[in-house]
Amino acid sequence: MPPETTRATQTAGVAYAGAAYLLWGVLPLYFLLLVPTGPWEVVAWRVLLSFVFCLLLLTFTRGWAAFGVILRQPKLLGWTALAGLLIYVNWQVFLIGTLSENVVETSLGYFINPITTVLLGVFVLKERIRRLQWAAIAIAAIAVVVIVVAYGDFPWIALSLTASFGVYGLIKKKIGPAVDAVSGLTLESFWLIPIAVVQLIVVAQTTGITMGANGWPHALLLAFAGVATAVPLLLFAAGTRRIHLTVIGMIQFITPVMQFLIGVVVLHEPMPSERWAGFIIVWIAIAVFVVDLLLAARRGRRIPRVEAA
């Protein structure tokens, strides 16, 4: 591959992945526009409309042949069902956190997600990790203890988000290229349809369905939930195919930084000194993690040069 093509591919990959993380970063503002719709109804529409949007994408991109191949493999179907349940937990907790004015805590979950991914690699995939990575994990654990003990609040939203998305990423890694992005999201949404329908029935019997009850602008925004869900995931998939995971590891912090700023600057969520202490320790862990990534990338570039010489 010519250097110009490689450079263009990497530039496109950074653009796709960066766009995905930017969109995920502003999602709290979008979901806040959907008030008075509650988190349970939003997730139900998110599931159903994502499924419809993916069906349209499969038709437009002529992806039905690849989708049919996946349907004939029960093992892959089982993995997509498990991935669907995990992404459902992630969506539901994220909406509960956002609409209950806990956007800062949702950002904490995504700050520590890369470290959670490393831990899963160690205990599930039996991967060996470097000393600086162990140091980052230890510092992040101290941060959680500080938030629980000093701030006096167990960060269940943050830990649920990082656990669900971490295991979701592990499953996507295990499935690998056998399931393309559109087919995967289609199946994940399909398995969640019964849950979404039950949630809408419960909402209708309790607080009442808000779709169409608050004017057409609100209904249009709510109908956009499927696109807002699918597009970042597809951009992310396009980006990861073109650039190294080291680059992904660094630009993924765009999302929690934006969410943290939205929570503190826009929504004015409380940040007492104990909570600041916890976040500062988390940021130190992230700094150690990023330094490790940069050093590993430098060593990786040096080895091919030595072999070439």
User: What is the tens place of the pLDDT at every residue in 234-258?
Assistant: 888 788 777 766 677 678 888 999 9
- Three-state SS for 93-143 is HHHHHHHCCCHHHHHHHHHCHHHHHHHHHHHCCCCCCCHHHHHHHHHHHHH
Say if residue 304 is preceded by a cis peptide, omega within 30 of 0: no
Closest C-alpha to 112, from 306, 285, 290, 295? 285
The pTM (predicted TM-score) of the whole model is 0.86
User: Which DSSP category does 178 fall into?
Assistant: G
pLDDT at site 178: 85
Q: What is the pLDDT of residue 52?
A: 94
pLDDT tens digits along 62-100: 999 999 999 999 999 999 999 999 999 999 999 999 999
Which residues have CB under 8 Å from 223's CB, separation 6+?
45, 49, 211
Report the pLDDT value the prediction gives residue 216, as an integer from 0 to 100.
Answer: 92
Q: How far apart are CA 277 and CA 6, in angstroms?
A: 43
HSE-up (13 A, CA, CB side) for residue 211: 15
pLDDT under 70 in the chain at which residues? 1-5, 244-246, 249, 300-309
Separation between Cα atoms, residue 111 and residue 155, nearest integer Å = 13
Going from N- to C-terminal start, the domains of the chain cover 37-229+271-308
pLDDT at residue 1, as a whole number: 44
Of residues 147, 134, 69, the one with CA closest to residue 104: 147
- CA 230 remoteness from chain centre: 12
From residue 173, alpha-carbon distances to 80, 117, 120, 284 in Å are 12, 11, 12, 28
